[in-house]
Amino acid sequence: MSMSTVASAPGKAILCGEHAVVYGAPAIALPLSGIRAYAKIRKCDHPLTIIAEDLPRPPLVYRAGEMDMSDPLALTAELAIDYLGAGSISGEIRLKSDIPIASGLGSGAAISTALCRAIALLRASEIPAGDLSKLVYEVEKLHHGSPSGIDNTVVVCEAPVFFIKDQRMELINIAEPLQLVLADTGIAALTRDAVAAVRRRRQSAPAATAAIFAEIGAISKEAKDCLEQGATKRLGALMIANHRLLQALDVSSPELDRLVEAGLHGGAYGAKLSGGGRGGNIIALADAHSVDAVREKLLEAGAKRVMVTIAGEGRRDDDDSD
């Protein structure tokens, strides 16, 4: 068997519970195994060089102790190399990603995960999932400030998760894979800004905000049952209710609302913003019959990019190539 030279990690979508999860409510995240970040390794004698093919930045040459720790790629490399106990490391890693940046689909966590896996590959080693998730969480802090940990968890374990902050995560056995349609507003929004706005809201209206978090938490619990039982119609209704609560938290936007309504108009069971909000993507839950109409309505409503994907299928193996 040839040695794998490409590590990868999936994108993710939050099915329900975002924002409330930061304050201890449960949330559900799904891996998007068809939309991935890749890190291709090439063994050579040069000091470790990381090339991000999609980003307008020069190659990053790793030099121990001299890295800019506010750069996510440099921090990821430092953390992985430190974990592996590898003082010096040589080789080249090329990063490429299908996951749109800053749109709530887990691009940052997927790139960090793929990069850590590739660095381990260069050392003919592997980082166990629990430890890898902790390393990626450290990088997520750069992107988000105080993330709940849901992104690194779902991206590393690549399985549907029922997540409660600081608790052992639970994997969900999905009865039937979900046909999701993702539609991008084209507006890049920083999760840390949306999280900060919710924090301010919680300070100024604690009781009302706590009540919203509690309702969102109840939705996540019921959504878990729906996933396990294949109750797609009810799941759709819960997504719509979750979107209304996110509107009440003021993390939606006219563009997101327009796409949610368009998805429903196209026949989706449910639709909601996914992730931090204020921009980024909505997810719509469709089926084989409605998927084309949903996609069409979303494009008509101004979606900048529409992706159809299946969530909840088994993990896709990393490429095993040249």
Give the interface segment with ligand PMV, choosing from 93-101, 129-137, 148-156, 261-269 (CB under 6 A). Answer: 148-156
Q: Are strands 49-52 and 90-97 parallel, antiparallel or unpaired?
A: parallel
Q: State yes or no: residue 216 binds ligand PMV (CB under 6 A).
A: no
Q: State yes or no: residue 174 binds ligand PMV (CB under 6 A).
A: no
Query: Which is closer to ligand PMV, CB of 241 or CB of 246?
Result: 246
CA distance 243 to 35: 24
First to last CA, the chain: 11
Q: State yes or no: residue 91 binds ligand PMV (CB under 6 A).
A: no
Q: State yes or no: residue 14 binds ligand PMV (CB under 6 A).
A: yes
Cβ–Cβ contacts within 10 Å for residue 49, how many? 16
Give the interface segment with ligand PMV, choosing from 33-41, 146-154, 207-215, 218-226 (CB under 6 A). Answer: 146-154
Q: Identify how many contiguous H helices and E strands the chain contains and give both numbers.
A: 9, 11
Burial (CB < 10 A; 0-12, 13-18, 19+), residue 167, is exposed
Q: Which of 8, 33, 153, 191 binds ligand PMV (CB under 6 A)?
A: 191
Q: State yes or no: residue 19 binds ligand PMV (CB under 6 A).
A: yes
CB of 305 to ligand PMV, least distance (A): 16
Check: CB of residue 304 under 8 Å from CB of residue 281: no
Q: What angle do CA 182, 185, 188 make, to 5 degrees?
A: 110
**Short-list 132, 79, 91, 100, CA closest to 36:** 100
Q: Which of 99, 115, 195, 285 binds ligand PMV (CB under 6 A)?
A: 195
| Interface of this chain with ligand PMV, residues 242 to 281, rule: CB under 6 A | 275-276
Query: Which is closer to ligand PMV, CB of 195 or CB of 286?
Result: 195
Q: Which residues bind ligand PMV (CB under 6 A)?
A: 14, 18-19, 21-22, 104, 144, 147-148, 150-151, 191, 195, 275-276
